[in-house]
């Protein structure tokens, strides 16, 4: 009687050693927890996300500095990933235009499988490394751009294909993963490791890994926009006034910073073309909108520098 032995799986496909794939001792009785015990367990484990961000502070700061320099030279910030990681990049990119009044092309999110994968899982597409490079070629990547590859487990071929291509043309490559470097080495320009430990549900990186990744992307994009002059104090003075909520926010920012009555702030906002930063410069220096625009352009959009110009 003969027996059939399946071919051995390639070692490169074996991922059980990765931190993100391991079982969490704290949740070994997960299926026996009450609802309250589940909430408490999630809360306990999620504390690790804050510690992980603190441990990655230097790499996060380097990503902010490099990206700011690249965008000042006309570059773009492109996130790329698959599954949850890719969706988080798309989300962060989509939130930049309304928050900071950036052009949609400045910060982009690229997801394996495209827009369809936002609402319908296309996990198999992450295994094709050439597709990651192709997505960047389609967007005409240049040496001035920054590519942030996001992969919780660190091994996604789609992401590595993109980052290798980015390096080949001189673009800045940033790697974000939730596994230690000794498990998945990554010879890229900036290496960000967000080590939150095994998930409560083993291997489900939409949990802690997803949370800490969202935190990291918040820090990177907001940090870059602050350094680009999109913020004055802690106010989003480049907010896009596109609906009633954002118009109210813009008026409140003007009222808080100028001490003018709300009605005057609304008028000032209208005279500035719905641009809070311009309105502030007009008021503080008692100049016209065209003159304020000219001063801002001369200072690369930096309001504090423009205020120091007479």
**CA atoms of 44 and 274, how far apart (whole Å):** 44
**CA atoms of 140 and 20, how far apart (whole Å):** 33
**CA atoms of 132 and 118, how far apart (whole Å):** 17
Query: Is 45 an active-site residue?
Result: no
Single out the residue of 115, 66, 25 nearest to residue 224, CA to CA.
66
**CA atoms of 121 and 124, how far apart (whole Å):** 9
* 10 burial level (CB within 10 Å; 0-12, 13-18, 19+): exposed
Among candidate residues 9, 45, 62, 95, the one labeled active-site is: 95
**CA atoms of 54 and 200, how far apart (whole Å):** 21
Query: Is 65 an active-site residue?
Result: no
Among candidate residues 21, 45, 126, 199, the one labeled active-site is: 126
Q: Please list the active-site residues.
A: 95, 126
């Amino acid at each position: 009687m003969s027996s059939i032995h399946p071919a051995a799986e390639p070692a490169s496909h074996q991922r059980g050693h990765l931190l993100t794939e391991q079982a969490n001792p704290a949740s070994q009785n997960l299926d026996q927890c009450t609802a309250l015990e589940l909430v408490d367990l999630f809360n306990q484990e999620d504390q690790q996300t804050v510690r992980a961000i603190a441990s990655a502070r230097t790499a996060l700061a380097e990503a902010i500095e490099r990206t700011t320099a690249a965008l000042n030279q006309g570059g773009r910030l492109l996130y790329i990933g698959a599954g949850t990681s890719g969706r988080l990049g798309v989300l962060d990119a989509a939130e930049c235009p309304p928050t900071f009044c950036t052009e949609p092309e400045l910060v982009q999110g690229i997801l394996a499988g495209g827009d369809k994968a936002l609402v319908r899982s296309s996990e198999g597409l992450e295994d094709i490394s050439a597709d990651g490079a192709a997505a960047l070629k389609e967007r005409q990547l240049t040496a001035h751009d920054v590519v942030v590859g996001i992969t919780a487990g660190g091994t996604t071929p789609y992401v590595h294909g993109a980052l290798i291509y980015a390096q080949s043309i001189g673009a800045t490559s940033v790697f974000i993963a939730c596994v230690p470097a000794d498990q998945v080495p990554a010879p890229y320009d900036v290496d960000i490791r967000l080590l939150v430990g095994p998930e409560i549900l083993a291997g489900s990186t939409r949990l802690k890994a997803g949370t800490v990744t969202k935190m990291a992307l918040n820090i990177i994009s907001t940090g870059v926009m602050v350094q680009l002059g999109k913020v004055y104090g802690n106010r989003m003075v480049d907010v896009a006034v596109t609906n009633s909520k954002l118009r109210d926010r813009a008026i409140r920012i003007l009222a808080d910073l100028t001490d003018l009555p709300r009605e005057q702030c609304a008028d000032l906002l209208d005279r500035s073309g719905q641009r809070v930063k311009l309105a502030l410069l007009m008021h503080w220096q008692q100049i016209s909108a065209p003159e304020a625009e000219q001063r801002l352009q001369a200072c690369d959009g930096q309001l504090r520098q423009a205020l120091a110009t007479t």
